[in-house]
């Protein structure tokens, strides 16, 4: 598959799953606009991709918990490109704790702001660039924690709330934007195995059998499959059977 004509924005690209997704899209030829909470984190991923010989990569700072930072990123992005084909809302704040009292007020606010409000504001501020594309897709990494009735052994209540906010937003957004040709694609994976470095030889030998934990590569394949479909094929959600508790990926 070739994404040479795609311009993709990816939040939370500084580490873990976001970093792996950036390397994957670069290998398919896409032009990438990477964000992380700090510019240094985004630039590290950009430098790795440049070192592999892919030049169409740009780095930006975007603190999803700060509306002014989101607006500044959107403005800078608009000065670099006149359209965006795919927005991947991957950035979020992971928060764990055995009970409600285990997290500070500040951690709770940051979790809700970066995950819920941040997803909404990035999508809102980039909507005009998406609508300028002839094949716009909004992909959001929600989580199984955003599914009603879901349980998780370590996730804090505020994390559940943040992921439910993402779910409510993307469901409403899908209904609103479908008539305008925008596909809104949400993924609800359980904890998945993201512990392998995408630049290591072990990346391509990750076990992906029926009895293995869900691998980051499989989640990446789902995203790639969805955005590569003809426009009449609208896969609005991926739900995964939770067979294992793997190494979770919670990008920031």
Note the pLDDT tens digit of each residue in 139-155: 999 999 999 999 999 99
| Residue 216 structure tokens | 């980051």
Q: In what order do the strands lie in the sheet with 183-188?
A: 57-61, 31-36, 7-10, 86-89, 137-141, 183-188, 237-239
Residue written as tokens 């293995």? 212
Q: State pLDDT tens for residues 26-63.
A: 999 999 999 999 999 999 999 999 999 999 999 999 99
Residue written as tokens 């990926």? 249
Alpha helix stretches (DSSP H) within 4-61: 16-27, 39-51
CA distance 140 to 69: 20
Q: Is 210 helix (H, G, I), strand (E, B) or coil?
A: coil
Homologous superfamily in CATH for domain 7-239: NAD(P)-binding Rossmann-like Domain (3.40.50.720)
Q: State pLDDT tens for residues 159-208.
A: 999 999 999 999 999 999 999 999 999 999 999 876 678 888 888 888 88
pLDDT given for residue 199 in this prediction: 86
pLDDT above 90 (res 244): no
CA distance 45 to 54: 12
Cα dihedral 162, 166, 169, 175 in deg (nearest 10): -160
Q: Tell me which of 173 and 212 has the higher pLDDT.
A: 173
Give first-to-last CA distance, the chain, whole Å: 28
Rounded percentage of the chain residues whose pLDDT exceeds 70: 95
DSSP state of 19: H
pLDDT given for residue 1 in this prediction: 77
pLDDT given for residue 241 in this prediction: 86
What are the extents of the domains in the chain?
7-239
Residue 140 sits at φ, ψ, to 5 deg, of -125, 125
pLDDT above 70 (res 221): yes
Taking alpha carbons only, the member of 54, 5, 63, 16 closest to residue 35 is 63
Residue 155 sits at φ, ψ, to 5 deg, of -65, 140
The pLDDT confidence band at residue 247, using thresholds 50, 70 and 90, is very low
| C-alpha distances out from residue 145 to 84, 161, 166, 206, Å | 29, 9, 10, 25
Question: Which residues in the chain belong to E strands, given as ranges?
Answer: 7-10, 31-36, 57-61, 86-89, 137-141, 183-188, 237-239
CA distance 89 to 160: 17
Q: State pLDDT tens for residues 69-93.
A: 999 999 999 999 999 999 999 999 9
């Amino acid at each position: 598959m070739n994404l040479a004509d795609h311009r993709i924005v990816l939040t939370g690209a500084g580490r873990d799953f976001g970093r792996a997704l950036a390397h994957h899209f670069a290998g398919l030829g896409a032009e990438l606009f990477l964000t992380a909470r700090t510019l240094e984190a985004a630039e590290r991923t950009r430098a790795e991709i440049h070192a592999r010989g892919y030049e169409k990569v740009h780095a930006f700072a975007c603190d999803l918990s700060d509306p002014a930072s989101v607006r500044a990123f959107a403005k800078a992005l608009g000065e670099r490109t006149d359209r965006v084909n795919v927005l991947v809302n991957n950035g979020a704040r992971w928060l764990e704790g055995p009970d409600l009292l285990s997290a500070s007020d500040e951690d709770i606010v940051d979790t809700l702001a970066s995950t819920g409000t941040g997803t909404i504001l990035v999508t809102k501020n980039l909507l005009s660039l998406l609508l300028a594309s002839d094949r716009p897709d909004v992909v959001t990494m929600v989580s199984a924690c955003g599914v009603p009735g879901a349980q998780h052994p370590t996730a804090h209540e505020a994390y559940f709330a943040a992921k439910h906010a993402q779910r409510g937003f993307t469901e409403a957004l899908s209904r609103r934007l479908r008539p305008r040709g925008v596909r809104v694609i949400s993924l609800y994976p359980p904890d998945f195995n993201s512990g392998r470095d995408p630049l290591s030889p072990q990346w391509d030998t990750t076990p992906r059998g029926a009895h293995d934990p869900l691998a980051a590569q499989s989640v990446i394949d789902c995203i790639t499959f969805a955005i590569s479909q003809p426009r009449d094929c609208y896969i609005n959600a991926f739900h995964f059977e939770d067979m294992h508790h793997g190494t979770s990926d919670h990008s920031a």
